Structure 1
Amino acid sequence: MSSVCKKCLKTIKRERVVVTSDGRIGCICDRKTSHDLYHKTKETARVKDRESKRYGSMSSIAECIKLGDIATVKEMASMYDENRMQIMPSIMMACAEYDRPDIMKEMVETTVSEFFDPNNEAPEATKFYEEYIGCMGFIPAIIRSLVLGHKSIFDAFCLTDLVKHNYEMFLYAAVKDGTYKTLDILMEYEGGDQNGCAKACAFFGYIDFLRYVITTHDNEYEDVFAATVEAARGNQPLVIRFLHNEYHDTFMQTLNPAFINATMSVDMAIMLHDEFGATNVTICMVNAIIQDNYDLFVLCHDTWKVACDDRIVYGVVRSHCQEFLNMAYVDRLHEWGASTDRIIEIAQKYGDEAIINRAKEWA
């Protein structure tokens, strides 16, 4: 039996069934409510749209930046004089997005007059970064300009020491989402790591990018070595095999230096040692202590039978005394049969009471 609508007292047949604004199944007479709700929502959207486009809003400033209207941008930004640092990140990002280095420079000169003035001494580092750089949103804007391949913007940012002091962060963030144009800009920049692009490409597993960098850069040995280290650190076995297959002779020359770097996972270490023939496991174990790579430290002893000699004992105890390692390393020394007296002797030399107390528990 069909239901009867309580409003219009008509039978709700199939052709009269509608879904109301609150999700219920109702009569077609409820459509008026839905119609009113639609127009109310549409009007709200219109108000928000007008609000976003009002003179001086961030949307209108961004639009003027896109058009290259410096005068209007400065005029609208002056409305925020007391809160200028609140809108500077958005202005910087818009300049990066639309490739407007002229507006970016003008706004920075207006906000911090000494920022781009080579005749003035640079502010103290802490003040420079915390008050100016942090508030202006330069870092995400630089990364965005690199991703988009806007060299003029990147060159403008290079007028400061910001890129030089944070180059590795910019490099990896830009390469992760960037293009070949991003790589070209970074390879031309002389103030950073000359093998940085090869490192970033290898770390993220971008084989095509890496091939392009090695071919373009014309510094094969250094690039292959850097890429091998970063591919191992980033757990990228496909990159390792790519380097082995396409740059075999160079890869074999860099294999041991990369292996003893000891910044890799156990799986990558086993791959380099067992599959490609890396040696120098003793130095790898020593560097695993320096790098605080506990799993690799244990692997070198348990699997590759590196002796727990005085060099290893001294390195572990000294690093623990300097608060670089935890007690698990010291417990391993005892487990592997290292001399308790020697451990205590080194701990006393560096004044490490924690190891001395732990040695008493072994007695």
Structure 2
Amino acid sequence: MDLPPLSHQALFAAVRSADAAAVRALLADAEASGTSLAALAAAQTDAGETALYVAAEAGSEEVVRLLLPIYDLEDASVRSRLDLDAFHVAAKQGHTGVVKEFLGRWPELCSVCDSSNTSPLYSAAVKDHLDVVNAILDTDDSCIRIVRKNGKTSLHTAARIGYHRIVKALIERDPGIVPIKDRKGQTALHMAVKGKNTDVVEELLMADVSILNVRDKKGNTALHIATRKWRPLMVQLLLSYETLEVNAINGQNETAMDLADKVPYGESKMEIIEWLTEAGAKNARNVGKVDEASELRRTVSDIKHNVQAQLNENAKTNKRVTGIRKELQKLHREAIQNTINSVTMVATLIASIAFVAIFNLPGQYFQDVKDGGDIDHLGRLGNWCPEASYQDCK
């Protein structure tokens, strides 16, 4: 039955005005006059919107309640030109009361998606509508696993935007969504470190720390992403986890340090490089190689420890410092035999000069017990290297 234009226009006008009394009167008149309520329900504007859609989008809860009885699921699921049905647009706009009215009649609407496979839950989550999210999950929590055509869940995008309370609510309902990857191979953690809310990152890692070193399809970990996006606080937070792979190499043969070198100069770059360096980060070309600076520090530290031990022993037993000389001679021989290890050579030279300065005082001698009591002045240390050419030492 064709719908009289006057009834059509009057109904839409009343709905847009959120005039519940007028809507009630129009529906009663239509029914009394034999006008098809089904035809009235199916009527659409030029934008493809039904009266129910208009009321749902506006959040007119009372009007929605009046209109729902004249709709069946098929008419209620009609999409506008924006590719949304009435329930979906209500969820997107955050109209909790309207959402509950729909769910009370058709709970299956929770899993009805648009052409990009975007669910009403997703649309509510990415708008930070927590009450709507909870209402949908209370009705059907399985829709939390719905992924869009790009592979992203509602958790992915909520984490990227930084909606901590949404992320927390989703994880509490189903922790199993945390490691889900999108079509790029990225988890919600990859998305979260692109943003600025560190609470979201902590929430994700508290739920499943195994995602810390997960790589996307390009081999990037969350640390790679955070560095590339110039997120110093994210980098610092990730580095606080002991299980983080600081020197993970991606598909482009880059570590986080390589990416940090590409960051435009500024405060963020300096902070990121400083924290990466403190954590032992390296460029990809140096991964697996000995860090000469660190090796030098360790060698000098070992020498200092050994010398202190000899001095302590000397103070207790009144022995001369023969042990120190032998230790230095041993280090010197090792350095000469291994000319490639320049670190040990440098450390030995430093130690030699330092010990000569400390012990080469008038009246200080070495007691060489092994040679039967011969007395050698400490100046014999000079025979190790200082009197030789640098090329001989090297």
Q: TM-score range by the shorter chain?
A: 0.3 to 0.5
**TM-score when scaled to structure 1?**
0.41
Q: Which structure dedicates a bigger proportion of its chain to helix? A: 1
The structure with the larger Rg is: 2
